[in-house]
Structure 1
Amino acid sequence: MSFELPDIPGTTLFGPQMARKGYALNKMCFSFNDKANRDAFVADEEGYMRRYGLSEEQAAAIRARNVLQLIAAGGNAYYLAKFAGIFGLDMQDIGAQQTGMSKEAFQAKLAAAAHS
C-alpha cells in the first residue's frame, strides 16, 4: 500500500516516512510524560539523547532549541510540545521561529494586528 502526501510548500507533513525518521525523537518526547524523565533530560541532555539513539540532526535541533528543525527531523508536533515547556518556550517563541522573526518583532507584529 502506498501513501502519498500532498506537496504543500513551506509545510512539513507528518506521514509514515516522517514517523519512521522521528521514531527515536518521538519516543524520547513521550518519555517526558514522567517528571523524573524530564528532570533526567535537564540534568544531562547529551546523555539522555544518546540513551534514545537520536540522530545528529535531531540532537542538533534540540541543542538549538529550534522546534521547526525538530519537526523537520521527524518530530511530531504533539510530542514536541513537551520540549517547548522544558526549553521555556512559549507560543510566541514558536511563532517567531515559524516566521523567521525575533520574538520581539513577532510580538510587535501581533500587537499591531490587534490594533488594526
Structure 2
Amino acid sequence: MSDDTAFDDIPGTILFNAERSRQGYHLNMFCMSLMKDENRRAFRADERAYLATFPMTAEQRDAILQRDWNRMLELGGNIYYTAKLAACDGLSFQQIAALMTGSTQDEYARMMLGGGRPPEGNRSKAEWEHHG
C-alpha cells in the first residue's frame, strides 16, 4: 500500500486514488452517460433535472453546473471522464487544461510546446507560497 500523502505537496496535483474513485463514482458515471446523444440532449435541456438522476453530493452537482474543472477532480472526478462533459460543451481537452491552469488556450499550448512548466518553483506548495 502506498502513501498517497506524498503527492499532497505537489502544486496542481490531484491524485486519483481508490478513495477518490469511490467518492466520485456517481460524478464519473454522469460524465460517462454523456457518451450517448440522447443523454447529452436531456442534459442540455435541463441540467439540474438530469443531474438529479445521479446520487451525487450537492458539491459535485455545483462543480458540474459551474464547470469548475479542478473542483470536479477534487471531488472524485476522473479527468478522462470529465472530458466527456467538456466535449458535450464543445470544448477540447486543451481548452479545459488551459482553464484548469488559469491560462488562455494559446498560453497553455505555448507552455506545453516549450516543454511544460519548469520544475523550479513548482516542486512543492511551499515553493509557491514563497513566490506568491
Instruction: Please give the range of the TM-score, normalised by the shorter of the 2 chains.
Output: 0.7 to 0.9
Superposed, 1:19-58 pairs within 5 Å as 19-58=21-60
Dislocated runs of 4+, deviation >6 Å: 112-115
The answer to whether the 8 A contact 1:65-1:87 is kept is: no
| Separation in 2, partners of 1:112, 1:52 | 37
| Separation in 2, partners of 1:109, 1:31 | 29
Identical-residue share of aligned pairs (%): 34
Aligned length: 111
The verdict on how the C-alpha distance between 1:57 and 1:111 changes in structure 2, with shifts beyond 3 A counting, is: same
1:62: how far off? 1.1
TM-score (norm 2): 0.71
Kindly indicate which of the two structures has a greater share of residues assigned to helix: 1
Structure 1 regions of 5+ residues with no counterpart?
none
Letter in 1 for 2:96: I
TM-score (norm 1): 0.79
Superposed, 1:1-116 pairs within 5 Å as 2=1, 4-5=3-4, 6-8=6-8, 9-10=10-11, 11-101=13-103, 103=104, 106-108=105-107, 110=109
Say which is worse superposed, 88-97 or 14-23, in terms of deviation. Answer: 88-97
Paired residue secondary structure (2:56): coil
The verdict on how the C-alpha distance between 1:111 and 1:23 changes in structure 2, with shifts beyond 3 A counting, is: closer
The verdict on how the C-alpha distance between 1:114 and 1:42 changes in structure 2, with shifts beyond 3 A counting, is: same
The answer to whether the 8 A contact 1:25-1:58 is kept is: yes
Structure 2 regions of 5+ residues with no counterpart?
115-132
| Separation in 1, partners of 2:18, 2:111 | 40
Letter in 2 for 1:82: K
The answer to whether the 8 A contact 1:24-1:54 is kept is: yes
